[in-house]
Structure 1
Amino acid sequence: MTVMTVLGAVLGGGLVACSASGDSRGDRHPGADRTTAAARASAHAPAATPGVAEKPPTMAPGPAGLTPVLERGPNRSDKVVALTFDADMTADEGPRAAAGEHFDNPELIALLRRLKVPATVFMTGRWAEEYPAQARSIGTDPLFEIANHSYSHYAFTSPCYGLPAVEKDAMHHEVKRAFDAIRRTGARNVVPYFRFPGGCYDDATLRALAPEKVTAVQWDVVSGDAFATDADAVAQQVLDGVKPGSLVVMHCTRSAAPVTDEAVDRVVPELRKRGYRFVKVSELMAG
């Protein structure tokens, strides 16, 4: 089975850089057919607190019980778009953080708040441990929700742009350990969604994650923000790729995605001018 990957390269074992292409898909496995997403999604009513789901919607398992995969929202007529941000940090990057490298991006989160843009942050457990106050702040703000990006940001199938690989029997532990680390910070808006480091997976990994009962969330729009230095180019790539129901992948890591906040500041008003509304992944999945 062909591995699904995001187009790009790994620098320093941490963050995947996306190319100019807006299509990050290889051959899709049978359970990832986006046309059946609406039929498999189970939507739940919103809670009293604005933007926080009582029980976040998930997708039913794919063929043979494989973990389901969402690449784009099921409603293709409503002009909604979900901005998602990967908070990447590998398990062995602590010394780099201690030396002053910034794997966080508080300016980006502050900008999303000022613009009142709901968003989903796919957080590694290692990032949550390095920045617990920020994780708690994001995870207690009804504007946001936190999803799982593994504990270590190691690949779940290889090759995956040079990322160290997780052993098959440790995949379950990677997901559980990340959820535990995130919740220990005091974050409450934690949703049962998972994004594969590097975007790399195959049927074996989907089978291994099945007991976790998560929905794997990929994307249909690659922002190209990783390692980019031209915010206008990143913004244009997003604007060129967005369609109703789109999932945009960006990053919340200053050292490896330094112009993301500037790009977002350009993207948001333009998409609103085009009639788009911003939603979290849980709201996108609910259709």
Structure 2
Amino acid sequence: MIAHVRRLTALAALCSLGAAALTACGGAERGAPAEPTTAVRPTGSPSPSGPPTLAPGPAGLAPVFKNGPRDHGKTVALTFDADMTADQGPRAAGGERFDNPQLIDTLRRLKVPSTVFMTGRWAEEYPDQAKAIGTDPLFEVANHSYSHHAFTSRCYGLPAVAPEKMRADVERAFTAFRKAGITHPAPYFRFPGGCYDRAALRRVAPAGVTAVQWDVVSGDAFATDADAVAQEVLRGVKPGSVVVLHCTRSAAPATERAIRTVVPELRERGYRFVQVSELIGASAGRN
């Protein structure tokens, strides 16, 4: 119990770093509405045969997806947030690395289908890597905002996007993807910090996105103990789980090593790795 409290205290301190905070700092849903129905609709997809999205939530709010069905086989989606905030250019120019090519290489070597939630600013900083990820069928690229600023007034110290600019921030990220050569990003959106409320869901709905959360927090943000990260994932995964991890070398240095433990162990347990789109598709028609 004491160790758990200490861990929560340390996590809260890390999340207070503001613009550098990563989504695994809590994944809070500020005033989140009831779960919407999960009928698939084509809007928001790049083409009629593109990735499935969910039906709009109540009052036209963007739908929210957290995990796939528990009774549809032992599938799990590993998701990686490629975080870089709009104001971190000077840090990148000074040598800080917000990418993690070794992690991507490991996922390729292990043949792990994955979903990368990328900020537009990350795609601008690493356009060659963004294109390589976005054109590799092993991965699907989804939207993590342009700026990695918060979509609620309080979200672990992140600066907030003005409500009237929320849709534009999402669409600016898609524009950055296209400029980098990612022609078919998935119509999914992950709120920075995992923080959203009804107002935010209403603002991003016209962008045609499904908001994607998670049900397993890896704890890889700022972690240096790869075994601890791996055990956190292995303890939490259930059929249909969505796991949040990070593709940010400077702020999640243990992730690649943890993946080398997680992947073979989950496969030994009978799990199959899938992209988020497959879980959303499997959820069609379920409440």
| TM-score scaled by length of structure 2 | 0.88
Letter in 2 for 1:41: V
* 2:189 is the alignment partner of 1:194: yes
Query: CA contact under 8 A between 2:24 and 2:193: conserved in structure 1?
Result: no
Unaligned runs of 5+ in 1: 1-6, 44-51
* Aligned position for 1:76: 71
Matched ranges for 1:236-251 at <5 A = 236-251=231-246
**CA distance in structure 2 between the aligned counterparts of 1:95 and 1:195, rounded to whole angstroms:** 25
1:145-203 CA distances to partner (integer Å, 9 max, x unpaired)? 10000000000002101100000000011000000001111113410000000000000
2:17 aligns with one of 11, 18, 24: 11
Query: CA contact under 8 A between 1:17 and 1:224: conserved in structure 2?
Result: no
* Aligned position for 1:233: 228
1:38-73 CA distances to partner (integer Å, 9 max, x unpaired)? xx2348xxxxxxxx9931100000111110000001
| Paired residue secondary structure (1:32) | coil
Query: CA contact under 8 A between 1:69 and 1:217: conserved in structure 2?
Result: yes
Give 1:15 deviation, angstroms. Answer: 2.9
Query: CA contact under 8 A between 2:31 and 2:197: conserved in structure 1?
Result: no
Unaligned runs of 5+ in 2: 1-10, 283-287
Give 1:16 deviation, angstroms. Answer: 2.3
Query: CA contact under 8 A between 2:119 and 2:145: conserved in structure 1?
Result: yes
Query: CA contact under 8 A between 2:218 and 2:244: conserved in structure 1?
Result: yes
**CA distance in structure 1 between the aligned counterparts of 2:232 and 2:132, rounded to whole angstroms:** 30
1:86-113 CA distances to partner (integer Å, 9 max, x unpaired)? 0000000000000000000000000000
1:162 aligns with one of 157, 162, 167: 157
| Paired residue secondary structure (2:188) | strand
Letter in 2 for 1:236: Q
Give 1:75 deviation, angstroms. Answer: 4.9
| Paired residue secondary structure (1:253) | coil
**CA distance in structure 2 between the aligned counterparts of 1:16 and 1:150, rounded to whole angstroms:** 13
**CA distance in structure 2 between the aligned counterparts of 1:150 and 1:171, rounded to whole angstroms:** 9
Query: CA contact under 8 A between 1:86 and 1:251: conserved in structure 2?
Result: yes
**CA distance in structure 1 between the aligned counterparts of 2:143 and 2:255, rounded to whole angstroms:** 20
**CA distance in structure 2 between the aligned counterparts of 1:30 and 1:152, rounded to whole angstroms:** 24
* Aligned position for 1:41: 40
* 2:140 is the alignment partner of 1:142: no
Query: CA contact under 8 A between 2:29 and 2:196: conserved in structure 1?
Result: no
* 2:48 is the alignment partner of 1:32: no
Give the aligned CA root-mean-square deviation in angstroms. Answer: 2.1
Over 3 Å counting, the alpha-carbon distance change for 1:263 and 1:129 in structure 2 is same
Query: CA contact under 8 A between 1:221 and 1:247: conserved in structure 2?
Result: yes
* Aligned position for 1:216: 211
Q: Percent identity?
A: 66
Letter in 2 for 1:237: E
| Paired residue secondary structure (1:286) | helix
**CA distance in structure 2 between the aligned counterparts of 1:18 and 1:184, rounded to whole angstroms:** 28
* Aligned position for 1:103: 98
| TM-score scaled by length of structure 1 | 0.88
Over 3 Å counting, the alpha-carbon distance change for 1:170 and 1:28 in structure 2 is closer
Query: CA contact under 8 A between 2:70 and 2:240: conserved in structure 1?
Result: yes
* Aligned position for 1:174: 169
1:231-275 CA distances to partner (integer Å, 9 max, x unpaired)? 000000000000000000000000000010001110000000000
Greater fraction of residues in helix: 2
* 2:112 is the alignment partner of 1:112: no
**CA distance in structure 2 between the aligned counterparts of 1:78 and 1:225, rounded to whole angstroms:** 26
**CA distance in structure 2 between the aligned counterparts of 1:180 and 1:69, rounded to whole angstroms:** 23
* Aligned position for 1:46: none
| Paired residue secondary structure (2:19) | coil
